[in-house]
Amino acid sequence: MSIKLSESPTTTQPLLGATLEELTAWVVSKGQPAFRGKQLHDWIYNKGVRSLADITAFSKQWRAEIADTPIGRSTLHYNSEAPDGTVKYLLRLSDGEIVETVGIPTFKRGGKSSRKYARNPSSNSSPNSLERLTVCVSTQVGCPMACDFCATGKGEYKRNLSRSEIIDQVLTVQEDFGERVSNIVFMGMGEPLLNTKNVLDAIRALNQDVGIGQRNITVSTVGIRSRIREFAQHHLQVTLAVSLHAPNQALREKLVPTARSYPIEDLITECREYVEITGRRLSFEYILLAGVNDLPEHARELAKLIRGFQCHVNLIPYNPITEVDYKRPQRQSIETFVDILKEKNVAVSVRYSRGLEADAACGQLRVANSNN
Ligand code: SAH
């Protein structure tokens, strides 16, 4: 593992995302003993403190001195829970922008599918019914990629999220559920590889400071020329998922307009390089739109395109959004698509998104404003 990317905290950079060493250097620079760095780290990452003024381990006088240094926590603007226990949060950032994040609990067989239970396990019957808690994090406010089937791209693109704004989403879900987050998917609003530096810094902190295994982290990208290769150079153990969505350039361009400047063959070549450089298998995401890209011929063409590749295909049946009239395929055509890929020895699974009823499923996150 080699991530060494974070910067020292500065007055403009909130503390969330800083390493133990950086926090220690910071407290020492303020004339405090070095062990206060460890305390600060614990209060920020484990205790979830929102203001330095609330760190009771520090003297009142010093707290008053440092109270204005931001930690980088957002405030909760709104949340809603789907019947499957998935919770969508709208978080207000320091400049008033709103970003969406999603908490996705997975319950053990027979476990309760209610967040109330997950949040307060002692209140109800069978203990430990939560098997996994996944957070779907956003990396930008809005998204400039404008994929035709995705709600995020229908709104206005605003800006990249900072490292602290990314990490904050994970801590927020962890605190609300009262459970450790086990998995992170960078599949919320935005294109992670347009914000690589902050995404890498956030991954470092989520891994080393929050304690989430790199192998439990997935970064999803639509594919930006040369960025996948650059990402590979960091030799992370995270999973890279590439949103392919079509087996040829003509169809891909229709669904993903930014693909016009990045031929599918070049994308696949870069993906192959990624596998060579990292030794990690890569995932392809493929949204299934009835009659558009879900026909048997598409499955065959897809299998051919990714032949001889260490990869896994994740099929995502389309989640409806209001702006376009695509349809989710019938179960039968999904099964046929899967069978063809399997026959051609392609590792494949179907991912039914969670949180549909709370508009929290893949592609349903949209730009909100604080008046909503
Ligand atoms: N920008 C990144 C991550 C965001 S979206 C990317 O493109 O990969 C995460 C996944 O959800 C992507 O594969 C995206 O294409 C898919 N998605 C977007 N809209 C969807 C919809 N309406 N239904 C199902 N999946 C969708």
Ligand 1 lined by 191 (C-beta under 6 Å): yes
Question: What pLDDT score does 352 carry?
Answer: 87
The residue ranking higher by pLDDT, 358 or 170, is 170
Residues 56 and 195 placed together within one structural domain of the fold? no
The closest residue, in CA terms, to atom 3 on ligand 1 is: 187
Domain membership of residue 36 (yes or no) is yes
- Residue 128 pLDDT grade (very low, low, confident, very high; cuts 50, 70, 90): low
Residue appearing with tokens 């949040």? 119
Give the Cα separation of 323 and 3 in Å (integer).
Answer: 40
Give the residue numbers marked as catalytic.
100, 362
* Whether 105 and 35 share a structural domain: no
Domain for residue 367, yes or no? no
Residues 10, 123, single domain; the answer is: no
Alpha-carbon 299 to chain mean position: 27
Determine if ligand 1 sits within 6 Å of the CB of residue 287. Answer: yes
pLDDT for 367: 77
For residue 369, which of 73, 74, 72, 100 has the smallest C-alpha distance? 100
Per DSSP, the residues of 272-295 read HHHHHHH---EEEEEEE-TTTT-S
pLDDT at residue 290 in the model: 98
| Domain match, 152 and 294 both | yes
- pLDDT the model gives residue 4: 44
The answer to whether residue 342 sits within a structural domain is: yes
Q: Does residue 194 have a pLDDT over 80?
A: yes
Pick the residue whose CA is nearest to atom 15 on ligand 1: 243
Give residue 366's pLDDT.
81
Distance CA 334, CA 340 (A): 10
Whether 372 is covered by a domain: the verdict is: no
Mean pLDDT over each residue of the chain, to the nearest integer: 91
Q: Which helix (H) or strand (E) holds 92?
A: strand 87-92
CATH of the domain at 42: 1.10.150.530
Shared-domain flag, residues 181 and 327: yes
| DSSP sequence for 221-233 | E---TTHHHHHHT
What is the rounded average pLDDT of the residues 121-145? Answer: 80
Overall pTM > 0.85: yes
Q: Residue 112's pLDDT is what?
A: 55
What pLDDT digit, counting tens, does each position of 205-233 carry? 999 999 999 999 999 999 999 999 999 99
Q: Are residues 92 and 231 in the same domain?
A: yes
Residue with CA at minimum distance from ligand 1 atom 2: 221
Contact in structure between 284 and 274 (CB atoms under 8 Å): no
254-309 pLDDT, tens digit per residue, is 999 999 999 999 999 999 999 999 999 999 999 999 999 999 999 999 999 999 88
* Angle CA 32–35–39, to nearest 5: 100
The answer to whether residues 155 and 256 belong to one domain is yes
- Domain span at residue 4 reads 1-71
Sign of the four-CA dihedral 57, 62, 67, 69: negative
Is the pLDDT confidence value at 2 over 50?
no
Domain assignment of residue 368, yes or no = no
Q: CB-based contacts of 56: which residues, under 8 Å, 6+ apart?
A: none
The residue out of 10, 37, 71 marking a domain boundary is 71
Total domains present in the chain: 2
124 in the same domain as 253: yes
DSSP 8-state assignment for residue 318: P
Q: What percentage of the chain exceeds 90 in pLDDT? A: 84
- Mean pLDDT on 107-128: 55
- 243 in the same domain as 125: yes
Residue 8 pLDDT grade (very low, low, confident, very high; cuts 50, 70, 90): very low
Q: Is 332's pLDDT higher than 90?
A: yes
**How confident is the model over 159-177, as pLDDT tens digits?**
999 999 999 999 999 999 9
* Separation between Cα atoms, residue 313 and residue 303, nearest integer Å: 10
The verdict on 82 and 40 lying in the same domain is no
Whether 322 maps to a domain, the answer reads: yes
Determine, yes or no, domain membership for 262: yes
Q: From the CB of residue 21, how many other CB atoms can be counted at a distance below 10 Å?
A: 12
153 lies in the same domain as 30: no
| Torsion angle of the four alpha carbons 289, 150, 275, 205, in this order, in degrees rounded to the nearest 10 | -150
Q: Would 365 be classed as within a structural domain? A: no
The answer to whether the CB of 259 is under 6 A from ligand 1 is no
Ligand 1 and 222: CB distance under 6 A: yes
Pick the residue whose CA is nearest to atom 11 on ligand 1: 362
Please give the span between the terminal C-alpha atoms of the chain, in angstroms, as a whole number. 42
Does ligand 1 lie within 6 Å of residue 243's CB atom? yes
Place of tokens 């240094």: 69
Pick from 49-58, 185-194, 345-354: least confident = 345-354
Task: Give the CATH number, domain containing residue 310.
Answer: 3.20.20.70
Q: Which of 71, 93, 114 is the last residue of a domain?
A: 71
Cα gap 332→108, rounded to integer Å: 28
Last residue of a domain, one of 45, 71, 97: 71
Judgement on whether residues 54 and 168 belong to the same structural domain of the protein = no
259-268 long-range contacts, Cβ below 8 Å, gap at least 24? Answer: 259/222, 259/223, 261/225, 262/223, 262/224, 262/225, 264/305, 266/225, 267/223, 267/228, 267/242, 268/305, 268/306
Greater pLDDT, 354 or 286:
286
